[in-house]
Structure 1
Amino acid sequence: MDKKNALRAGALAAGTTLMMLLMSSPALALTRDDGDDPGTGLSVVETLGLYVLAPIALFVVITGLIMVLDRSHPDHRVTGPNTKAKAAKQKAGAKA
């Protein structure tokens, strides 16, 4: 029964892929439409800066802001296994 379902799924995937390939026409990409006004292309450095460095920089800035502005209570933070238990033992020892 599993073989039949796998064959059915494979046929469906192959059929869908074939239909997508037949429906798309890359040759039409060369024909300009009315009102089409493409700009100048990006250089390699501009492309890398826009699609690689900018997202990484944005991620670093957001992460830094979260770390700097974190005002949660230190006892509620989980930094590793058994960390909270050790902190509780140390507090109990300090109070006694």
Structure 2
Amino acid sequence: MDKKNALRAGAVSAGTTLMMLLMTSPALALTRDDGDDPGPGLSIGETLGLYVVLPIVIFLVIVGLVMVLDKSDRPQKKQA
């Protein structure tokens, strides 16, 4: 019985995915819309800084704040 349900769920998922792909229109990225005014592009350094370095720095700041502001009274492990 479980195999039949799994096959049915797979068929429904595949059918839904196929229908969504068929119903979406192409992106038409080369066709400009009225009022479209793209700005200057980002360099490789700016892109890496914005999408790689900045999230890592923000994550490390949050981790640091959590570690510094952690006021729980956990017993420290003794080194043997």
**TM bucket, shorter chain:** 0.7 to 0.9
In structure 2, C-alpha distance between the alignment counterparts of 1:30 and 1:11, rounded to whole Å: 35
Structure with greater proportional helix content: 1
Give TM-score scaled by structure 2 length. 0.76
Q: Which residue identity is paired with 2:38? A: P
SS of the residue 1:59 aligns to: helix
Q: Equivalent residue of 1:50, what SS?
A: helix
Q: Which position in structure 2 is the counterpart of 1:35?
A: 35
Larger-gyration structure (1/2): 1
The answer to whether 1:46 aligns with 2:46 is yes
Deviation at 1:5, TM superposition (A): 0.9
Going from structure 1 to structure 2, the CA distance change for 1:5 and 1:44 (only over 3 Å counts) comes to same
Deviation per CA, 1:35-64: give whole Å up to 9, x if none: 111112222221111111101100111111
- Which has the bigger relative contact order, CA under 8 A and spacing at least 6? 1
Cα RMSD over matched residues?
2.2
Matched residue, 2:61 = 61
Residue aligning to 2:14: 14
Q: What stretches of structure 1 of length at least 5 have no aligned partner? A: 87-96
What residue identity is the alignment partner of 1:52? V
Q: Secondary structure at the match of 2:29?
A: helix
Q: Percent identity?
A: 77
